[in-house]
Structure 1
Amino acid sequence: MASTTKTDENNPSVTEVDHESDEAAAMERVFSNTEVPSWRNQITFRAIITSFILSIVFNFIVCKLNLTTGIIPSLNVAAGLLGFFILKTWTTLLNKFGLLKHPFTRQENTVIQTCVVASSGIAFSSGTASYLLGMSSMVASQLETGNTPINVKKLSPGWMIGYLFVVSFVGLFSIVPLRRMMIMKLKLTYPSGTATAYLINSFHTPKGAKLAKRQVSVLFKSFSFSFVWAFFQWFFAAGDDCGFASFPTFGLKAYAQRFYFDFSSTYVGVGMICPYMVNISLLIGAIMSWGIMWPLIEAKKGIWYSADLSASSLHGIQGYRVFLAVATMLGDGLFHVVYMAIMMLFTIIKTGSKKVESLPQDENRSQLTFDEQKRNEYFTKDQISTFTALGGYITLAIISIFIIPNFIFPQIKWYHMLVAYIIAPILAFCNAYGCGLTDWSLASNYGKLAILIFSGWAGMGHGGIIAGLAACGVMMNIVSTASDLMQDFKTGYLTLSSPRSMFFSQVIGTAMGCVMSPLVFWFFYRAYSVGDPDGSYPAPYGALYRGIAVLGVEGLGALPHNCLKLSIWFFVGAILVNLLTVVLKRYEKRFGVYRFIPSPMCMAIPFYLGAYFAIDMCIGSLILFVWEMKNKKAAKELAPAVASGMICGDSLWGIPAAVLAMAGVKAPICMKFLSASVNKRVDGFLGS
């Protein structure tokens, strides 16, 4: 990142990154003549309206991504870019008519970005495609085990909205007292927050405005293409396995093993945003599972598991798919949690000793740069007291402990909730710290651990599956919102936005998400067969999260033959792969091969879904790679905008498509692909 690279003006061989750092270091001098509005004036009515509109758009995008593969790229850039475009257009129009009272500031842009990302963040942590969906009868019937009334809950937007409101705000108060330590003293990078801040700062400089216009233009061109392409595909998808989404790109046998390109511009765009190794890891995982392991295990049908079981039974082939994926994810998650804790401890000890030795008097203000002095001044200007933060956390926790067991989930007891709220701030700090170092949030991993602990504690007969999934929601929301808020504090620090405006923007965005996320999910839920593994919206994490809860309440004896051995191997393998990556990273200059080691977490995702989306994302990587080969500068500046447009256009087609489905309107054509022999039989049948 540019923020961590030192500059050397006297070095003639200075790199491109050094130029970026030098420009970033002078940023606050560029804005020295611009008045910084008070925190109340940073949260404007027009910013909230813009945030509301974009939140609807981004909730549809995140919901669709959640319900298909569960892979969600960073949308911070798109939020900042679209927020800039909308308000810049509006203020320019008002200025032409002489009606503009207040100019559009970078602080206002930051407020919009914070609100939108907070809202779309709830769309992920709300669990509508994971732990809440795992409570439904649809997912319960697929896994069979634990399909009892006490371990199933009927989904409804009413109680889902209420549940989110009582658990989503607690995390905002859990880590507020540590903001100065993490941002100013430890100077954690928070890569996404830093990148977004530089983007917003560049938009509001004379030079940056030109680039922003190009990015917006490219974004809307790709958006238009993606939307029209999705609309065109709809005409050929009149039934199951119809249309371009079921195109047997590599042949019918490969298609049967879920290897094909489904022409989804959403995941081509996601592939352009995600790192190359993420996409390659997905493809490697798909080849390992659907290309090698599952055919070999299916050959053992009747030996390892009963031949009479359905394909969706957790005691058959589905059990291997679910639990090997779960074991890999848990191994990867456990390694990162432990590694981050050790890394955090050593960094705090090391940083603390350096502070004592070199900065004995109030951090030695004379050693700070102009930008640091300016940013520290505004970051400490509007305080949020520790008493307010602690009081808010305790009050909201008490409300949650009372409401959830008594009115929403009687399966989880008040003492379960109390334990969760005692340990959650510790995990929230660990996650926020790790996110500041690596940009990698482990919220879902903490949620999975909560499922195992609380489902086993409650027991199957007392609704342990529902209890574990509900506890997962409590933990995920606290841990996720805490790290998101600290990211926003970092963005606010670098744009001179007040911590209070960041906090209240996060509150407003969270409130929007608590309402929008269940409603948008319900829109898809009523229009499609959400959770059906063979449908358009398989929502794989619903079954995976419920599978973890089943494992928690039943223990390892519930697994099919040899599944436990394989799960242990994959669990250990995930830890060893991560350990190898860390070791090789220490010798980066000598070897540099750690970048080519696949991610176990990413490899596990296709175990359940197949390779089709991995192929889409690898094509996105290929497009970006070729573009960078031809024009690296243009690719760096415009690729995120192109990818965002592709994601937005294809995802937004889901709204009219869902409306048509709910109205009973079907596509006029079914484009289907048959083998020559099957086609001959069909022709013979029709001819007769």
Structure 2
Amino acid sequence: MAVHWFRRLRCKMGATPWDNVDGPQAEFTFRATAIGLLIGCLLCFTNLYFGLQTGWISMMSLQSALIGFLFSKFLRTPMTAQENIVLQTTAVATGTMPLAAGFVGILPALGLLEEDRDGVPPLKLSWVSAIGWSCAVAFFGVFLSPPLRKQVIVEEQLAFPSGTATAQLISVLHELPPPDTTVRRRRGYQELNQDDVAEENVVMNPEPENIGLLRDAIIESVTEESEGWTSLIWSFVASGVMTLAAYFFPVIFSMPLFGRHIAEDWLWTFTPSLSYIGQGIIMGFPTTISMNLGMLVGWGILSPTAKHSGWAPGPVGDMTTGSRGWILWISLAIMCTDSLVSLIPVIYEIVVQKLLPSHIALSLFGSENSSKEDKEVESDDRLVPLSWVIWGTGGSVVIGTFLVWLVFGHEGIKPWATVIGYIIGAILSVLGVRALGETDLNPVSGLGKISQLFFAWIQPGNIVANIIAGGVAEAGAQQAGDLMQDLKTGHLIRASPRAQFYGQLIGSSLSIIVTSIAYSLYNRAYSIPGPSFPAPTAYVWLGLARLLRDGQLPARSSDFMVASAIIFALVSAAKTYASRRERPYAKWIPSGVAFAIGFLNTPSFSIARFLGGFAEFLYYRHYGKEKGGIRLIIIASGFVLGEGVVSIISLILRTWGIGVVSCLGCVPGLCGGCPA
């Protein structure tokens, strides 16, 4: 009866015929999907652009929800919170395809193959082939998400901190009671953006008077100054103008930091990009500290050491004989160690819960683990039917295997090996999703490497098969994990899982075309990898594949890899222990993955992000997270989207043959687009 009353009320308020949907799928509306696709396409270009530059992309789920809320202010009928969740889910599914389909790592790695060394020439996929490859991996993780949701969100009630934080934001923006987050706080639960117990009590367990204060502060920060558009537009324009200026005068984004000699010989430059500053704000101060610590160790200590000791005799920037290629191996050891150590508690709990008697498991993990009661709160017509999951998963594997064979041929990877890749991907997805739910970190970098290790055994010597199989496995784990955060948000706000599933499918389908077109355009206009788009993760994929085939490492790098692995095994263990016990100092323990990213990227990328993280720290310290946090997110989102979108203009200019105006001040090889 309440549903019919709500539907009649929406019609009286002027809802469109499309919005007046019978049944429980009312939140799956044309406007929510359309706006989600629009935001997702912007994120898709942005993530591809920054992924090829730095190897780091963002889900932007919270930012998508916030921008969607701003868009909804122009609608005749206010958008519901559930529609906003469908919008956000669609945007994330569209925007994360560059990483899920390997456009920032797998495909550039295949383009780096050398016939003399690897036995096959470089594989440069055409636009049609890129679409075929994307179709092969785009939907597998989507069909894995419904059964995983049932287990980790409904039954085990894992925290998924980013998804929970997004639900809290949406509830405040739409003036709803705060979502019930009083579920079992597993040891992995970490509340986002909480600096002290008092602040956590306001947000997580708000009293009636605190609810009003918190809602008023956030609504005011979003709605003032023309519904928040002023902040978003000005930050977008500022970042876009700076990006265009850097296109015509490349030195703007490649400033010698300690003089021309240090910049040319040791690659120490500074990129004052507002988008990188915005990314630093979104990442947060602790993460940017970890990244810059890695930069200092990798580029300030290890790189000169390798060069002067003769272990990396080539030019510093050379990925084969230079110190940049030498420290790449240290980065790989740190990433794999950090990812695997963070998975150990997850694997342990899975094994213990299955093997221990129920009364022991109950004492270790709480009543929820042993309860057989079905905790599902949604009706069957709002859930994704099991038959869809079975047919969809089976169909995605069969069709995906055929498409991979069609794109890469029988010599690239055998069909039976591709099927095994999907199976491994499904298993690794479970581990990745559980790790994400516990710690807010999806260790896909380490999971992909596990798949590479396995395929070095079942198809030895085949580098192409090794990379492709790793990409198939990583795609499933990455996509299932990203979508699970959105499903957690939907679970807390009571959005229809089936409506979110529709949004995921539609977003992934459109993103296949958008990402493939964008990647093909970038490939035509720029050298990938190259000065403008170094694609650092491509070297990680190819380097490990070659190592597993040849077993040869650069001089003395193995010693440093072992030492780094031991150090970060201890660091990661300490961070995991502290995080799972909700220690306030846990976020200040260095993140191994962020530390390793500091090795992969030249200093120019890390320093600007540190400035953003430090700005976030000072801003919150002065204004507080409740009062000024949303405004800062809007500004950071504008910075990131500004450069990502305007980069499309730069791409068109490059395609038309319109080059730089002046190379004055440029360091040879470090200024993208400049022949100097």
Please report how far the alpha carbon of residue 478 of structure 1 lies from its aligned counterpart in structure 2 after TM superposition.
Answer: 1.2
Match of 1:212 among 218, 222, 237: 222
One-letter code of the match for 2:498?
A: R
Matched with 1:607 is: 599
Give the TM-score normalised by the residue count of structure 1: 0.81
Once residues 611 and 520 of structure 2 are traced to their aligned partners in structure 1, the CA distance between those partners, rounded to angstroms, is 32
The SS at the match of 1:530 is coil
Q: Tell me the equivalent position of 2:248.
A: 235
Partner residue, 2:135: 165
Answer yes or no: is 1:662 the counterpart of 2:655.
yes
CA deviation profile, 1:315-351 (whole Å, cap 9, x unmatched)? 5534412222212211112212223222455578348
Is the 8 Å Cα contact of residues 344 and 433 (structure 1) preserved in structure 2? no
- Residue 300 of structure 1, CA deviation: 2.3
Q: Amino acid of the residue matched to residue 618 of structure 1?
A: F
1:169 is displaced (CA, Å) by: 0.8
**Identical-pair percentage:** 27
- The letter for the 2-side match of 1:667 is V
Alpha-carbon deviation of 1:232?
Answer: 3.0
Contact 2:59 2:92 in 1 (8 A): no
Task: Determine helix, strand or coil for the equivalent of 1:605.
Answer: helix
How far apart are the structure 2 equivalents of 1:512 and 1:276? 34
| 2:156–2:369 contact (8 Å) kept in structure 1 | no
- What's the counterpart of residue 528 of structure 2? 530
Partners in 2 of 1:444 and 1:192 — Cα distance?
A: 19
Which whole-Å deviations, capped at 9, do the CAs of 1:399-424 have from their partners, x for residues lacking one?
22333235434221122123223333
SS of residue matched to 1:312:
coil
Deviation at 1:531, TM superposition (A): 0.5
CA 351–87 in structure 1, closer or farther in 2 if over 3 Å, else same: farther
CA shift for structure 1 position 507: 0.7
Which residue of the partner structure matches residue 340 of structure 1?
346
Matches within 5 A, 1:207-286: 210-214=220-224, 215-237=228-250, 243-256=251-264, 257-286=266-295
SS at match of 1:417: helix
Q: 1:308 & 1:121 partners in 2: Cα distance?
A: 36
TM-score by length of 2: 0.82
**One-letter amino acid matched to 1:321:** I
* C-alpha contact 2:336 2:445 (8 A) present in aligned 1: no
Specify the alignment match of 2:113 in structure 1: 140
Q: 1:124 to 1:403 in 2, by over 3 A?
A: closer
* One of 271, 291, 299 as aligned partner of 1:290: 299
Aligned to 2:206: none
- Check the 8 A contact 1:67/1:537 in 2, yes or no: yes
Q: Do 2:537 and 2:600's aligned partners in 1 also have CA atoms closer than 8 Å?
A: no
- Is 1:312 the equivalent of 2:318? yes
Alignment map for 1:165-564 (pairs within 5 Å): 165-205=135-175, 210-214=220-224, 215-237=228-250, 243-256=251-264, 257-301=266-310, 304=311, 307=313, 312=318, 314-315=320-321, 317-345=323-351, 349-350=361-362, 354-355=366-367, 377-378=377-378, 381-410=381-410, 411-460=412-461, 464-532=462-530, 535-555=531-551, 558-564=552-558
The one-letter code of the counterpart of 1:120 is G
Provide the secondary structure at the position in 2 that maps to 1:104.
Answer: coil
Q: Distance in 1 between matches of 2:257 and 2:369?
A: 64
1:69 matched residue in structure 2: 54
8 Å CA contact 1:91, 1:104 repeated in 2: no
Residues 355, 583 of structure 1: CA spacing in aligned structure 2 closer, same or farther, 3 A cutoff?
closer
CA contact (8 A) 1:186 1:351 kept: no
Q: How much does 1:566 deviate? A: 1.9
* Matches for 1:47-66 after TM superposition, within 5 Å: 47-66=32-51
Structure 2 residue runs without a partner (length 5+)? 11-19, 177-215, 355-360, 669-676
Report the Cα distance in structure 2 between the residues aligned to 1:646 and 1:70, rounded to whole angstroms.
18
In structure 2, C-alpha distance between the alignment counterparts of 1:358 and 1:483, rounded to whole Å: 25
Partners of 1:104 and 1:657 lie apart in 2 by: 35
Check conservation: 2:113, 2:120, Cα contact below 8 A: no
Deviation of 1:129 (Å)? 1.4
For residue 41 of structure 1, give the secondary structure of its aligned residue in structure 2: coil
Instruction: Please say if 1:618 is aligned against 2:624.
Output: no
**Aligned-residue offset at 1:254:** 4.1
Relative to structure 1, the CA distance from residue 377 to residue 167 in structure 2 (aligned partners, 3 Å threshold; closer, same or farther) is same
Q: Mark the CA change 1:145 to 1:353 in structure 2 (over 3 Å): closer, same or farther.
A: same
8 Å CA contact retained: 1:271, 1:618: yes
Which residue, 116, 125, 128 being the options, matches 2:91?
Answer: 116
Structure 1: gaps (5+ residues): 1-27, 93-102, 238-242, 364-375, 676-688
Whether 2:590 is the aligned partner of 1:598: answer yes
In the alignment, the residues of structure 2 paired with residue 311 and residue 486 of structure 1 have an alpha-carbon distance, to the nearest angstrom, of 38
**Offset, 1:108:** 1.7
Q: How many residues align?
A: 602
TM-fit CA distance, 1:574:
2.1
Q: CA deviation at 1:359?
A: 6.3
The change in CA–CA distance for 1:360 and 1:115 in structure 2 (over 3 A counts) is closer
Report the residue type matching 2:466 in the other structure: G
For the 8 Å contact 1:177–1:385, the answer to whether it is kept is: no
What amino acid does structure 2 have at the position aligned with 1:398? V
CA spacing shift, 1:309–1:288, aligned 2, 3 Å: closer
Cα distance 1:359–1:261, how it changes in 2: closer, same or farther (>3 A)? same
Secondary structure of 1:128's counterpart equals coil
**Residue 32 to residue 660, structure 1, CA distance change in 2 (3 Å):** closer
**CA distance 1:211–1:450, shift in 2 (3 Å):** same
Residue in structure 2 matched with residue 372 of structure 1 by the alignment:
none
Q: 1:439 Cα shift? A: 1.6
Distance of 1:202 and 1:586 partners within structure 2: 27
Counterparts of 2:107 and 2:373, CA distance in 1:
51
Q: Structure 2 CA distance, aligned partners of 1:337 and 1:500?
A: 30
Q: Please, which moves more after superposition, 40-49 or 538-547? A: 40-49
Q: Distance in 1 between matches of 2:492 and 2:582?
A: 30
Please state how far the C-alpha of 1:183 moved relative to its aligned partner.
2.1
CA contact (8 A) 2:54 2:536 kept: yes
Compute the RMSD of aligned alpha carbons.
Answer: 3.0
- Distance in 2 separating the partners of 1:332 and 1:496: 35
User: Quick one: distance in 1 between partners of 2:317 and 2:398?
Assistant: 44
Aligned equivalents of 1:135 and 1:385: distance in 2?
A: 38
Alpha-carbon distance, 1:65 to partner:
1.0
Q: Once the 2 structures are TM-superposed, how far is the Cα of residue 145 of structure 1 from its aligned partner?
A: 7.4
Q: Alpha-carbon deviation of 1:474?
A: 1.1
CA distance 1:381–1:587, shift in 2 (3 Å): closer
Matches within 5 A, 1:7-26: none
Query: Would you say the 8 A contact 2:335–2:445 is kept in 1?
Result: no
Do the aligned partners of residues 406 and 244 (structure 1) sit closer, same or farther apart at CA in structure 2, a change above 3 Å counting? closer
Evaluate the alpha carbon distance shift between residue 630 and residue 391 of structure 1 in structure 2; reply closer, same or farther with a 3 A threshold. same
Q: 1:585 to 1:394 in 2, by over 3 A?
A: closer
How far apart, in 2, do the equivalents of 1:578 and 1:33 lie? 54
Seen in structure 2, the aligned counterparts of structure 1 residues 425 and 311 have a Cα distance that, compared at 3 Å, is: closer
Alignment check: 8 A CA contact 1:39 1:501 kept: no
Larger radius of gyration, structure 1 or 2? Answer: 1
CA contact (8 A) 1:379 1:496 kept: no
What corresponds to 2:64 in structure 1? Answer: 79
